[in-house]
Amino acid sequence: MSLIVQKFGGTSVADVEKIRAAARKAIRAHTQGHQVVTVVSAMGKNTDRLVELAYELNERPPAREMDVLLSTGEQVTVALMAMAIESLGYKAVSLTGAQMGIRTDNTFTKARIQSIDTQRIQGYLDAGNIVIAAGFQGIDDEFNITTLGRGGSDTTAVALAAVLGADTCEIYTDVDGVYTTDPRLLPEARRVEVVSYDEMLELASLGAGVMHNRSIEFAKKFGVPIHVRSSFSDTTGSMIVAECESESSPVCGAAMTKNEARVTILGVPDVPGTSLDIFSRIADRKIAVDMIVQNMGTEGRADLSFTVPNSELAVTLEAARDAIEKIGAQGVSYDENVSKISVVGLGMAQQTGVAHRMFSALAEAGINIYMITTSEIKISALVPRDKAQDALRVVHNTFKLDSVAEDARNWSRIQHDRSQTADLQSVVATLQDDTLEKLTLTDIALVPDQARITLLGVPDRPGIAADIFADVGKSGIFVDMIVQGYDGEDGTTSVSFTVPKADYANSRAVAEALCKKFNLRGIEGADDIAKLSVSGIGLRSHTSVGTIMFRTLAQAGVNIQMINTSELQVNVVIQSDKAAETERLLRETFAESLRS
Ligand code: ASP
Ligand code: MG
């Protein structure tokens, strides 16, 4: 028999009417022949209210008592939900964390699950009940009530789905799915049928959050299909699974990060250790640096540009000035009127010319690009803020995100095989090292035999990136990383990209032709480089990853030639003769965070 886990967040159970509506959804799934486990959060903003109450009585409420208090929110909802179902003529049983045998450690307010008694839940299901499970809570070995950290009901739901071998985990929320871009910004945004775990993680880090990122990573690890849908309507929503919506479409979504600021450190001595000096000072101030681009400079100096949220600019500049003094850089420039436009898609990893399509679209609209970074499944361009809205529309149009591709997967065709029930031990083990506090990396990889081409003195005007990558694309070369930096000095920029070593000669020829055609200052290149990638989740927001990586490289005396970052990866391009040794060092440094 099939089994469905449903999760209703706070807004979906905020009052009696909403609880009744949620009850009907559980009943409907039950009458369609599924076994149903419904995980609920506290009603509306109840948890916030309980937190406020606690602080009114005690500036430092004891963590144990905090958990006794906060767990009541979910206990209220499970009971009411069970009553609602019973009044509609069906059997339901409410279970608290303790009653489900969700054993945790005793780290109050952010406990980790140690075991789950699935037999109890299964017993109630087999007896014909709809099981209403309290999200976000458990019990420790001493019978103390514990909670899993704010937003923890998502974790409860996905964990139950994994260990019970659910066919789907339905997340009912106040939006009806995942959109190609924020519909409040672009009315033509479309709800997608299917989005892959990785795409969702990137989009979420760009602000399209519907769920806790960690729950998505968890679902990915155990192959739990997630169906994000509206609690206020009956329409199907979006499935988050391993596959993307369409194999033929390189892009599944676009996003705008409106309030960004660009900071450029000018004339950084091109020696190992400078990135560390700069970024560790910024990370110490808990600021997440985003696009990082290093321009190949002249006379042993480089310009290093990066973006931070506009609200963090002042503090960032303070850190930057400290670093400049220490490393003997020449100065700093910044622009606080910029926005970032990003496109995300699994398909772009297999297709050439995707970046070029984005650049040409922006060029045709007369929008200048200040900085570019690309990673496996994401391309970001920094543009003037007053053009950002236009840029989003243009990009959305270019990739035809408003219409469904012919080869699109339909959510109903995505079937899950219940024999895939995840082994309880491994689910629990993952949950234990899956806390938000702790960094988890999934891989450190070395891509050898790469080459880099840098075009110097590229005029800073709309369309130049498009022109360049049109020519590169025509020659059939597969470009991997692209970075376009910013040069405050003479109004030119430099553009670097990597290609397979085998394509180096060919790429150089193309670059020479470009140099003549656009009257560039020169070209620079290397065919003895390698790319090192550190993969994981939350890398963009986890400010320490970059710092640790830069420190390791600095200690090994390795000079960084290119850098890019995304939610899922930090990549650096370095000299190949030091690559294997550096990979070994990184593995050693990150051994604790690297999970097998
Ligand atoms: N009620 C808890 C919170 O607000 C758990 C949840 O909603 O996921 O954080
Ligand atoms: Mg909540």
* Beta strands across the sheet bearing 137-139: 113-115, 103-104, 137-139, 145-147
Average pLDDT, the chain: 89
In the prediction, which pLDDT does 476 show?
A: 83
Angstrom distance (rounded) from CA 226 to CA 147:
23
**Short-list 367, 346, 368, 343, CA closest to 355:** 343
Range(s) within the chain of domains with CATH label 3.30.2130.10: 254-402+441-589
In the prediction, which pLDDT does 82 show?
A: 98
| The architecture CATH gives domain 254-402+441-589 | 2-Layer Sandwich (3.30)
Could you tell me the CATH superfamily of domain 3-247+409-432? Answer: Acetylglutamate kinase-like (3.40.1160.10)
Q: Which two tokens stand for residue 590?
A: 């990150």
**Which of 150, 174, 213 most suits a substitution to test ligand 1, by most atoms within 8 Å of the C-beta?**
150
> 433: pLDDT confidence band, cut at 50, 70 and 90?
low
In the chain, how many H helices and how many E strands? 16, 24
Q: What burial class does residue 286 get, using C-beta atoms within 10 Å of its C-beta: 0-12 exposed, 13-18 middle, 19+ buried?
A: exposed
> 297: pLDDT confidence band, cut at 50, 70 and 90?
low
The DSSP bridge pattern shows strands 482-484 and 492-500 to be antiparallel
> 489: pLDDT confidence band, cut at 50, 70 and 90?
low
Range(s) within the chain of domains with CATH label 3.40.1160.10: 3-247+409-432
Q: What burial class does residue 3 get, using C-beta atoms within 10 Å of its C-beta: 0-12 exposed, 13-18 middle, 19+ buried?
A: buried
Q: Which two tokens stand for residue 594?
A: 């690297």
**What are the pLDDT digits (tens) for 327-341?**
999 999 999 999 999
Compute, in angstroms, the gap from residue 10 CA to the centroid of ligand 2.
Answer: 5
Task: Tell which atom from ligand 1 comes closest to the C-alpha of 73.
Answer: 1
- Identify the residues whose C-beta falls under 6 Å from ligand 1: 9-10, 41-42, 47, 73, 135-136, 150-154
Residue with the two structure tokens 């990150």: 590
Average pLDDT over residues 349-363: 87
Residue 166: DSSP 8-state: -
Q: Which residues surround ligand 2, an ion (CB under 5 A)?
A: 10, 41
**What are the pLDDT digits (tens) for 534-560?**
888 767 656 677 778 888 888 888 888
Tell me which of 514 and 112 has the higher pLDDT. Answer: 514
In the prediction, which pLDDT does 555 show?
A: 86
In the prediction, which pLDDT does 585 show?
A: 92
Compute, in angstroms, the gap from residue 348 CA to the centroid of ligand 1.
Answer: 36
The DSSP bridge pattern shows strands 137-139 and 560-565 to be unpaired
Average pLDDT over residues 243-262: 93
pTM of the model: 0.84
